[in-house]
Chain A
Amino acid sequence: MIQVSKNELGATLEKAAIGQGYDQGTGQWLSSVVLQAVQVDLPAAEWAIEALRHKPEPPALKNTSLGWQCHNYSVLVAGPLLTDLVMSGEPLNGEGFVKLDVPDLWRHLLTTKFKQKCGAVDIQPATWKELNTLAAKTYVPATDESRARGAG
C-alpha cells in the first residue's frame, strides 16, 4: 500500500473521471463521494476505479443500472444524476425511470455528512497507477511554441 493525501486523491480522481470520458460534474461528484467514503474507512478508491472501469453508456443514465455494484456500497457509487434524483425527494417512478425503491438507510447515507477524518489514504499501488494513467489522458503535451512562450 502507498499513502496518498486526500487532496491528491481527489484531484486525481476528478481528472481520471474526465480522462475516462465523463464530464467535469461527474468527475467532481466521484471525487467528493470517494473522499466522503474514505472518512469512514470504506475502500473507496478501489471501488472508484471499479466505477471508472465500467463506465455506463448514456442510455443507462436514465435507470437504476447507473449504479456500479461493488462490495455493499452500490448506492454510494450510484451516479451523480441518480443521487440527485434521490436527494430531490421526488418519487422516482416517473417517465423514463425504472421504479426505484430507495431504502431509508441508503437515502440516509447519501445525505449524511460524515465526520471529518484526518490523515492520508492507503491505496493499492496498482490502483493508484491506474488512476494516474486515466488522469494522464487529460494532459496536453508541450509544443515547441508553448515552451517558447513559457506555457509548456
Chain B
Amino acid sequence: MQASHQLKNAAIARHSSELMRLSRLGSAFPTRLSFMRVLLRDLAVEGVKVTRPRWDINEDGHGQAVYSLTCGKHTYSLVAISTPLADKDRSDRVIAEAWDAAFVLYDGIPSKKEVERIALSAPHQEACRYSEKELTLSRANKSGRLFKEVVDALSSGRQPDAQMIGQIGYLMRTTAVYGNGKFGISDRDRFADRQNMTKPFQAEMLTVWLVRAFTHDLVEHIAAARSTHAVKLDRHLKRYLGIGNATGLGMAPFLVSHPQLLNAWATAREHALVRVLNSTRDIGQALEEKASQVQKHLNAWNVDDHRQMERIEKLREEFSMLDLNVQTWASLWHQTEDLSFECQELVQAILIDLNPELVDDLAEELGSNLPLAWHPEETVNKLLSDIENKYSWALGYDFSSRKETALFWYTSEEKLEPRLGRRFEEPGAEKERPLDIARQVQSLYSMLQTADPDQKLAFFFVENPSHRAIAARIQTCRDLPFAEIQDNLIAETTLPIDMLRFKLAMFGANKFDPKSDLWTRITLFQGAPLIDDDDLGADWSFAVL
C-alpha cells in the first residue's frame, strides 16, 4: 500500500500489480457494492412488495409456488417446483440429475399453463430447453440436518436450535444458478436495460433472494401441516437463514473471460476506498459498533479447511489488535499495511460499508458494455509498446519450466463447464482453453520482436493468425488498469479458489468454506432483509445470530 499515503486526488489507492494478484483477490470480502446488497437497496428505493400468488404445496412440502414482484414497468416471478428426493440422491456437485427443488425466474406472472410447462422441464434442469420467458434457471437441495431440525421444532411448538442454525446457516443450498441464455433462457441483453436490471447478476441475485423466502415458507408450511400446535419461525432466526451454495471451477474462468467486467468491479471498489480515505466525515460510534459485530461474525466463521482456518484465526487476532480510537478513516486503513491480505480486505469492506453516502453511487459503474477492441490498422511497434507498458507482469515467467505450465483449463465433456487438469499427468491438454494469458502474451511478444516494427497488424496476423485473439485482448485491456489477474493461471501453485472468492465476494457471499482448492461452500443473503421486512435497504453486512 505504498501509494496510500498520497491519496489526495488519486483515483485508486493501490496499483494493479498489488491489487490484481490471486492471493489478494482470494481474500476479498463482500461490500455495499456487492450485487446482493445493491439489489436489495434498489428494491427498497422502488418500494417493492413481494406477493405469493400461488402456493400449491402439499403436506410433505411438494408442489408448486410462485412469488412475484414488480420493478418499474416489469413484473418478475419466481416459479418454485418442489419434488421428492431420496437422501442418497442429494449431492453438492453440479453434476446430478435430481434435486429437492427447481426454480426459474419468470418474466411476468406465469399462467397456470406456463407453470405446468415449467413444472415439466425445470426439475430436469440442463436436460431440457427453455424459453425467453425464463430469465434464470436454478435448483437447490435441502440441508438435510437443519431442514429436519427446523420442521421438527416448529411443528412441536418451539423454535429450532439456534446453535445449529448458526453453524449451518441455510435450509437449502443451490448447486447452480444459470443465466444469460443458457439452455435457451433469455439473453441478458434482452432485459439488461430495464430498471433494476442494469447492474450485473441482478436477475440471478433476485432469484436466490426469492428462493430463500421459499425455503422459509416451506418449513413453516410443513410444520403447520404436521401439527395444529406449530409455530412460525422466529424472524431473527429466519433472517439469519440464507441460501447455501456450492461453487466450483465452472465459475472461475469468468474473471478471465470478462476482463472489462473485472476491471469495472475492481475499479469501483478502489474508487470507493479512495473516497472514504479522503473523507473527513465524522467516525463517531459507528466504527466501534461495527467492529464489535465483525468480531462476532469472525468468531462464528469456522471451517474444516486447515489453510482457511489458519487464515481466519490470524484475521481474528489481527482485527482484534486494531486501534479503533482513530480520528480519520485513513488512520484505520494505515494500520493494516503490514497485516494479512484478509485483514486488509476486511478493513476495506468495513470502510466502504460505513460510508454509504460516499460510495453507493459507484454501484452504477459495476457493469461494462465495452466491446472487444480490435485495431488491425495499428503497427507491430505499437503492440510491442502496449505489452511493455501494460503486460510487463506477464513477461517474467519461465514457461519452459514444468512448474509454470503444470495445469491446463479445459471444458468438461461430462458437464460442459470449465475444469482444471494436470498437463503432465492427465489427457486433454491439446484441447486447452486459452486462460493462459501470461503465456500467450509472452509468445506474442517474442514473435513481434522479430517483425518489422512498422508493419500493420493486419498483415502481421496473416502470417501469425493464432495470436490474433491475444492481441485483441491486449488492445481491449490496455486502458483498463484492473482488467487482468496478474498471475500465471497455469502454474502449479495456482489456486482456483482465489478466483472464486473474489467473484463470490462481488456477489455478496460470506462464510467462505473451502472444501478443496477447487470448490467452496458459501452462504448467500445471510442476515438479509426478509421479503416482508419494511426496510429492504437496511444494512445486513457481517450477519451475527
Contact = CB atoms under 8 A, between A and B. Distances in A.
A26 B516 CA distance: 36
Interface stretch (A44-52, A68-76, A77-85, A99-107): A77-85
Contact of B412 (A5, A87, A142): A142
Interface string B500-542: 0000000000000001101100000000000000000000000
A28 B95 contact: no
A87 B419 contact: no
Interface in B160-214: 180-190
A149 to B, nearest CB: 7
A100 to B, nearest CB: 13
Contacts of A26: 465, 468
Interface residues of A, number: 45
A7 B462 contact: no
Contact of B183 (A8, A138, A142, A143): A8
Given A5-B181, A87-B458, A145-B425, A140 B187 contact: no
A14 to B, nearest CB: 10
Contact of B428 (A2, A8, A140): A140
B413 A25 contact: no
B462 A139 contact: no
A112 interface: no
B458 A5 contact: no
A93 interface: no
B421 interface: yes
Given A28-B372, A150-B248, A151-B420, A90 B414 contact: no
A124 interface: no
A62 interface: yes
A7 B181 contact: yes
A140 B181 contact: no
Nearest to A132: B416
Given A28-B469, A80-B468, A136-B413, A85 B419 contact: no
A84 B533 CA distance: 56
Given A84-B461, A90-B456, A139-B416, A8 B411 contact: no
Contact of A61 (B181, B410, B465): B465
A142 B413 contact: yes
Contacts of A85: 376, 458-459, 462
A65 interface: no
A7 B425 contact: no
A1 interface: no
B187 A81 contact: no
Contact of A23 (B180, B459, B468): B468
B469 A25 contact: yes
Given A25-B468, A139-B431, 6 more contacts: A4-B181, A7-B182, A7-B187, A88-B457, A90-B456, A150-B249
Interface of A: 2-8, 15, 23-26, 28-29, 32, 61-62, 80-81, 84-85, 87-90, 94, 96, 116, 118-120, 136-143, 145-146, 149-152
27 contacts: A3-B132, A3-B184, A5-B186, A6-B189, A7-B182, A7-B189, A8-B181, A8-B182, A25-B468, A26-B465, A28-B469, A84-B468, A85-B458, A85-B462, A87-B376, A88-B376, A88-B456, A88-B458, A116-B189, A118-B187, A120-B184, A138-B411, A139-B410, A139-B431, A140-B427, A141-B428, A145-B425
